[in-house]
Amino acid sequence: MPQPIAPKPPLKPLAIARPLLAWYDRHRRRLPWRAPPGETPDPYRVWLSEIMLQQTTVAAVGPYFERFFARWPDVSALAEAPVEDVMRAWAGLGYYARARNLHACARTVAAEHGGQFPTDEAGLRALPGIGPYTAAAIAAIAFDRRATAVDGNIERVIARLFALATPLPRVKPELRRLAATLAPARRCGDYTQAMMDLGATVCTSRAPKCPICPLARMCAARAGGLAEDLPRRAPKPVRPLRHGIAFWAIAPDGAVLLRRRPARGLLGGMMEVPSTDWRAERWSPIDAAAEAPVRAKWRALPGIVRHGFTHFELELMVLVGRAAKGEGAWWPIDRLAEAGLPSVMRKIVRHVLAQS
């Protein structure tokens, strides 16, 4: 079991929850998916925000949440939407399997649960796209269940409260175990959001604001002068580099050829600028031309488009060619914004347009 750097007596749930909730009642963040104080949370909003917030910042999610909620104000409306519309509305938010699962989940809730989300972790976990963390977060926040959700912010707070020296990700099971010991039986939803807010605004990665922290008296990292050093992290493995060639085929009327990616896998179901496979070896122009989606006289654009995925870095060269408008999805160049292109594809568009 990981040893704390500066052992302290065990923390009791209420020793943490009381001052934290009092702080939360005064300093909570106003977020578009949150119920105002005293109001019952809307499980649809909580679920939608938690799916969007997976691997994504609050700042990035905000505008997407507002647009989704305005367009599909409840789970039944989302369930009735064509999946292509949902994917398009998600474009730019990344991790596109989330959008497909979001839609599948809405359909399941509408069809099998009468439009009501299950209220416990087990029922939530049975739905598409809801893993242990998200189930716990929804159970706590939407239904005030005593459930332990540990996101990146809460990990940091717990690692510091207990001054855990074991690096992430190895320390995660211990963080979850300790977090579970602190969750209060009452107001667990507010407590969970309070922990998230504390991590986001006070117990920040850099320069934590310990002097104004409501948990300062109980914090082992603060007592040991270690706050900024925790949590420790194992060095990240270097991401491999992959190469590809993108084909910017343009028709006489100015339309650009796009295509839809296969439903499964990276960027599954999203529209794209056609490209070769993304592989470890560089492409020779001759090999690449054999992969082109249409016949054209291809010309390489100067420069490279770079994009970081979770598990690899991608470098794309772009070939531009004039082509006859045949089969396929030809989009007017001034309406490409409506195609729902993911971020890497938007970079290709910007790269081409910057040189036109």
List residues with catalytic annotation.
50
Taking every pair of C-alpha atoms in the chain, what is the biggest distance, in angstroms? 75
Helix (H, G, I), strand (E, B) or coil at 73: coil
Whose Cβ is closer to ligand SF4: residue 218's or residue 352's?
Answer: 218
| In contact, 309 and 266? CB cutoff 8 Å | yes
Tell me the β-bridge partners of 248.
320
Nearer to ligand SF4, 6 or 35 (CB): 6
What does the DSSP assignment read for 227-270? Answer: GGG-S-BPPPPPPPEEEEEEEEEE-TTSEEEEEEPPSSSTTTT-
The string over 106-145, giving b where at least 16 C-beta atoms fall within 10 Å of a residue's C-beta and e elsewhere, is bbbbbeeeeeebbeebeebbebebbeebbbbbbbbbbbbb
136 vs 227, beta carbon nearer ligand SF4:
227
Question: Which residues 6+ apart lie within 8 Å of 211 measured at CB?
Answer: none
Q: Cβ 155 to ligand SF4, closest distance in Å? A: 12
98 within 8 A of 342, measured Cβ to Cβ:
no
Closest to ligand SF4 by CB, 202 vs 318, is 202
Q: Which is nearer to ligand SF4, 47 or 162 (CB)?
A: 162
Shortest reach from residue 220's CB to ligand SF4, in Å: 8
The residue ranges that bind ligand SF4 (CB under 6 A) are 157, 160-161, 202-203, 208-210, 213, 215-216, 219, 221-222, 227
- Spatial CA neighbour of 215 closest among 144, 137, 158: 158
Residues 6+ apart with CB under 8 A from 199: 151, 152, 153, 154, 155, 156, 157
